[in-house]
Amino acid sequence: MTDALITYIISKILIITKAISEFGVNEAFQKLFVKLILIIAFQTFNLTHSFGQEEIIDHQLWFDVVPHFEINDRMEFYGDGSYRTSTSGNKFNRLMVRPSVRFHWTYELDLIGGLGLTLTWEEEDYNTVELRPYQGIRLSWPKIWRMNFKFRGLIEERLIWNNNNEFDPNLRLRLRVKTNFPINKASMDYKTVYIPVSYEVFGNVGPAVVERFRNQSRAKIGLGYVFSEKWMGEFEFAIQRSRSTFDDDLILYDRIFRFKLIMNGWIFGE
């Protein structure tokens, strides 16, 4: 991580803070907002610097469509279709679909279950097919002024096949905190401009699987807009660190530019 990049991100945070102040937000909340962004950003910076190994910088483009459909008052069906590619470093192409069901157990707690299918083509002809059942919970708490925080925990059973006819099962845990900060309105609604912020960590508890996306930490910040009663769009910049195993000398430092189109997302508290 270069000092220039750190300076650039801090400058953007100051610009956002100035814009927030123009909406009459008090000084105490401005400080809270800045602390949140700094914690997310510098947590990833520290993870990147915590190892003295070789580092490879990779730039990626992600394109996602995420629809939500109501099943009944307590259940919804949602998922995402995604295309991801690398423009530098270790190049790859990846297609993903992840249909999921969410059950609203209480006002604050949701149960999550789904099945992911991932196809990955790498530049060096190491291709994989992954089937990924997952289960988890989402806690919607606390609410601080305009921000509704959401904590999500997932358990993923990863079933991975490669083009050498090798099969690698693996179990992975994911923990994420996320919030959206509405800028021009008190809550998420039609024509809301907002800032999505999240931080997620990944940890493996199964056997060592040698593949480039095994261990990760990811921080994201972006800009979103609810442009109709059903559709919202987001652009996010993410910093991600990944490596194959705990003993691997190769560190992949990813800069991700993500474009996301979400249907009924603000209605279901995306």
Segment 31-84, tens digit of pLDDT: 555 555 555 555 545 544 544 445 667 789 999 999 999 999 999 999 999 999
Does residue 210 register a pLDDT over 70? no
Q: What was the pLDDT predicted at 185?
A: 92
For residue 39, the model assigns a pLDDT of 58
In a domain, 16, yes or no: no
pTM beyond 0.85: the answer is no
Q: If you average pLDDT over residues 228-250, what whole number do you get? A: 75
Torsion of CA 258, 261, 262, 266, to 10 degrees: 80
Distance CA 69, CA 99 (A): 11
Closest of 1, 103, 96 to residue 43, by C-alpha: 1
Higher-confidence residue of 163 and 109: namely 109
Banded pLDDT at 165 (limits 50, 70, 90) = confident
More confident residue, 39 or 96: 96
For residue range 166-193, list pLDDT tens digits in order: 887 888 899 999 999 999 998 899 999 9
In a domain, 162, yes or no: yes
* Burial category of 270 from C-beta neighbours within 10 Å (exposed 0-12, middle 13-18, buried 19 and up): buried
Q: What is the mean pLDDT of residues 110-117?
A: 97
Count of domains observed in the chain: 1
pLDDT for res 122:
81
Confidence of residue 162 (pLDDT cuts 50, 70, 90): confident
CA–CA dist 256, 220 (Å, integer)? 9
Pair of tokens at residue 74: 């307590």
Please report which confidence band the pLDDT of residue 251 belongs to, taking 50, 70 and 90 as the band edges.
Answer: low
**For the domain that residue 234 is a member of, what is the CATH number?**
2.40.128.140
Per the domain annotation, does 232 fall within a domain? yes
Q: What are the phi and psi torsion angles at 30 (to 5°)? A: -60, -40
Let me know if residue 25 belongs to a domain. Answer: no
In 3D space, the residue among 201, 257, 212, 5 whose CA is nearest the CA of residue 91 turns out to be 212
For the chain, what is the total number of helices (H) and then of strands (E)?
2, 13
Instruction: For residue 1, name the pLDDT band (cuts at 50, 70, 90).
Output: very low
By residue range, what is the domain housing residue 149?
58-263
Most confident of 1-10, 49-58, 98-107: 98-107
Question: Is residue 268 assigned to a domain?
Answer: no
Please check whether residue 244 lies inside any domain of the structure: yes
Q: What is the mean pLDDT of the chain?
A: 80
**pLDDT at residue 92, as a whole number:** 86
User: Is residue 170 situated within a structural domain?
Assistant: yes
For residue 145, what pLDDT band results from cuts at 50, 70 and 90? confident
With a pLDDT cut of 90, the percent of the chain lying above it is 45
User: Does residue 95 belong to any structural domain of this protein?
Assistant: yes
